[in-house]
């Protein structure tokens, strides 16, 4: 009978692919369970099987508790326990060998249930260990079944993955037996077993496919800067060459489009635009708008947006079906993009210029010709009139020191009046100003109170304008202005 135990361990371990120790544990639990039933489940039992000979012994166990707290036959008072073992303490176990049931007399159903349960637990632990460190990778499997649009994928070795309907590419036809790849989002241990969650819509799936198909990416000659998708329809991926000799688009497309076509086929025919990354945000946006060509771009750093002008005949292409092209370009670059024709851009800027003209005439109480001169010179707010360096304003035709001084005074008074009306002490500095190197919150708020809320406006200041800040020295003021000028986004 002892040999039979060892034979069972060998057979089950080989069939299920779990360690022999797990099977030994399962058999020990099964024999202990049968032994407890022999005593009407009124005792606590433990069984130990010799891993080499197959011999086994059963032990009755009592947990040691404080005196007068023993509630049933599985507990023993501390005083009684110490008569058997003087060194034992509360919470420990005291054991006594008892006669066990024979292995061949164990209820077949009981043994089977215990062993199957232990094996399942071991298999679940193996699956979780195998996949917990693979989050962020591509996983491949065979479609096992389709349930209301959700996909159960057989990964092999008793592992299954789940792809929710919303994580599947829309209108993608999938049948049992098909092989699918997915992006491993997460692995979570759950009572029914580890749940492996995949996605077919994540941008990371596209990124990983390019890493597989394009050797230049794996060899770090190219670097993927980002990707965005309209699953099953269109995607954009930005790449940056680390070696100037590498053609990033050509490397990703491959000979006769073989590489990008393989990726498109994997994604149910999804069209992929390969975009060259550029450090200049305006140029990056122009690249991302492909295949449409941007004629000009005007940047508004305050709202983190760009007005993109295209030719009339390319407007629909630039926007794309249901706004797809401009939406993907905006998601890829991180900018809010407003696409319009050249004439629409001109009309918009004329309207904006007219609004600024009326603002200057009303708030500064000046004639139209002076207000128009300010607009023509690029002034667009009262803050700029109040705090742009004096020498720059003196360069305006027909402006002398008296006019400049009066305009600056009126602008500051108008800003003060506005602040009092709204109950605000200062405007809010934007994020770029708050987080720039060398800046602190105190200075940023003080600058904002003067209307200097962005890097562009700060870049136009002089050292003397910043010297009035508490704790500021000339060297630091110069460094802040230099940093702001280096970081300012060029208008085009």
What does the pLDDT look like over 367-414, one tens digit per residue? 888 888 888 877 878 888 887 777 778 877 778 888 888 888 888 888
Confidence of residue 423 (pLDDT cuts 50, 70, 90): very low
Confidence of residue 453 (pLDDT cuts 50, 70, 90): confident
Residues in a beta bridge with 152 = 145, 162
Contact 339, 313 (CB under 8 A): no
pLDDT at 7: 79
pLDDT at 490: 46
348-369: pLDDT as tens digits: 777 877 888 888 888 888 888 8
263-317: pLDDT as tens digits: 999 999 999 999 999 999 999 999 999 888 888 888 888 788 888 888 888 888 8
Q: 0.75 exceeded by the pTM?
A: no
What is the arithmetic mean of pLDDT over 440-469?
81
Query: Nearest CA to 479 among 460, 455, 463, 457?
Result: 463
Task: Look up tokens 């069209």; give the residue.
Answer: 271
pLDDT at 276: 94
How many of the other CB atoms lie within 10 Å of CB of 73?
Answer: 12
Percent of the chain with pLDDT over 70: 93
State phi, psi for 144 to the nearest 5 degrees. -90, -45
Confidence of residue 492 (pLDDT cuts 50, 70, 90): very low
Contact 288, 238 (CB under 8 A): yes
Of 57-71, 222-236, 262-276, the least confident:
57-71
Query: Nearest CA to 383 among 337, 428, 423, 318?
Result: 428
Contact 97, 57 (CB under 8 A): yes
Confidence of residue 103 (pLDDT cuts 50, 70, 90): low
Torsion of CA 424, 425, 429, 435, to 10 degrees: -130
Could you check whether the bond before residue 364 is cis, i.e. omega within 30 degrees of 0? no
pLDDT at 284: 93
Q: Is the pLDDT of residue 107 over 60?
A: no
How many of the other CB atoms lie within 10 Å of CB of 318?
Answer: 23
DSSP 385: H
Percent of the chain with pLDDT over 90: 25
How many of the other CB atoms lie within 10 Å of CB of 431?
Answer: 10
What is the arithmetic mean of pLDDT over 448-457?
81
What is the arithmetic mean of pLDDT over 149-160?
86
Confidence of residue 491 (pLDDT cuts 50, 70, 90): very low
Q: Chain-wide mean pLDDT for the chain?
A: 84
Choose from 124-128, 235-239, 405-409 the range with maximum mean pLDDT.
235-239
Q: Is the pLDDT of residue 138 over 80?
A: yes
CA–CA dist 492, 368 (Å, integer): 28
Helices 20-38 and 2-16 cross at an angle (nearest 10°) of 130
How many of the other CB atoms lie within 10 Å of CB of 373?
Answer: 18
Domains and CATH numbers, the chain: 2-127 (3.30.1480.10), 132-201 (2.40.50.140), 284-363 (3.30.300.20), 364-422 (1.10.150.20), 431-487 (1.10.150.20)
Contact 284, 278 (CB under 8 A): yes
CA–CA dist 482, 459 (Å, integer): 7
pLDDT at 275: 94
């Amino acid at each position: 009978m002892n040999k039979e135990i060892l034979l069972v361990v060998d057979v089950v371990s080989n069939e299920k692919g779990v360690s022999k120790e797990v099977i030994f544990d399962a058999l020990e639990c099964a024999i202990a369970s049968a032994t407890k039933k022999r005593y009407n489940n009124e005792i606590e039992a433990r069984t130990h099987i010799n891993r080499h000979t197959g011999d086994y012994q059963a032990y009755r166990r009592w947990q040691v508790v404080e005196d007068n707290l023993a509630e049933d036959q599985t507990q023993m008072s501390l005083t009684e326990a110490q008569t058997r073992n003087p060194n034992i303490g509360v919470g420990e176990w005291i054991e006594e060998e008892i006669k066990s049931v024979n292995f061949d007399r164990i209820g077949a159903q009981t043994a089977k249930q215990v062993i199957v349960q232990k094996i399942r637990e071991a298999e679940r632990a193996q699956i979780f260990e195998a996949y917990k460190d693979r989050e962020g990778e591509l996983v491949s499997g065979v479609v096992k079944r389709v349930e209301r649009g959700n996909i159960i994928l057989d990964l092999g070795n008793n592992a299954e993955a789940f792809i929710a309907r919303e994580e599947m590419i829309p209108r993608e036809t999938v049948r049992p037996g098909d092989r699918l790849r997915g992006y491993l989002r997460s692995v979570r241990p759950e009572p029914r077993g580890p749940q492996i969650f995949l996605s077919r819509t994540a941008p990371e799936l596209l990124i990983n496919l390019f890493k597989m198909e394009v050797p230049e990416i794996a060899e770090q000659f190219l670097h993927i800067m980002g990707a965005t998708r309209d699953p099953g329809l269109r995607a954009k991926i930005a790449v940056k060459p680390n070696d100037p000799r590498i053609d990033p688009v050509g490397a990703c497309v491959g000979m006769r489009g073989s590489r990008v076509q393989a990726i498109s086929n994997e994604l149910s025919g999804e069209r992929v635009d390969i975009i060259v990354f550029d450090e200049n945000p305006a140029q990056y946006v122009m690249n991302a708008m492909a295949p449409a060509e941007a004629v000009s771009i005007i940047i508004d750093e305050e709202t983190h947006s760009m007005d993109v002008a295209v030719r009339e005949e390319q407007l629909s292409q630039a926007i794309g079906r249901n706004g797809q092209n401009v939406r993907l370009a905006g998601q890829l670059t991180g900018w809010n993009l407003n696409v319009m024709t050249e004439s629409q851009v001109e009309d918009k800027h004329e309207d904006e210029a007219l609004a600024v003209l009326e603002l200057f005439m009303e708030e500064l109480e000046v004639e139209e010709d002076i207000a128009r001169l300010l607009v023509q010179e690029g002034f667009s707010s009262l803050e700029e009139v109040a705090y742009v360096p004096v020498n720059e304003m003196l360069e305006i035709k027909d402006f002398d020191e008296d006019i400049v001084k009066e305009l600056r005074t009126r602008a500051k008074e108008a800003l003060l009046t506005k602040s009092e009306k709204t109950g605000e002490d200062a405007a809010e500095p934007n994020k770029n100003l708050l987080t720039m190197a060398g800046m602190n919150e105190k200075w940023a708020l003080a600058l904002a109170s003067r209307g200097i809320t962005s890097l562009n406006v700060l870049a136009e200041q002089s050292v003397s304008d910043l010297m009035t800040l508490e704790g500021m020295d000339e060297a630091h003021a110069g460094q802040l202005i230099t940093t702001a000028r280096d970081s300012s986004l060029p208008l085009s």
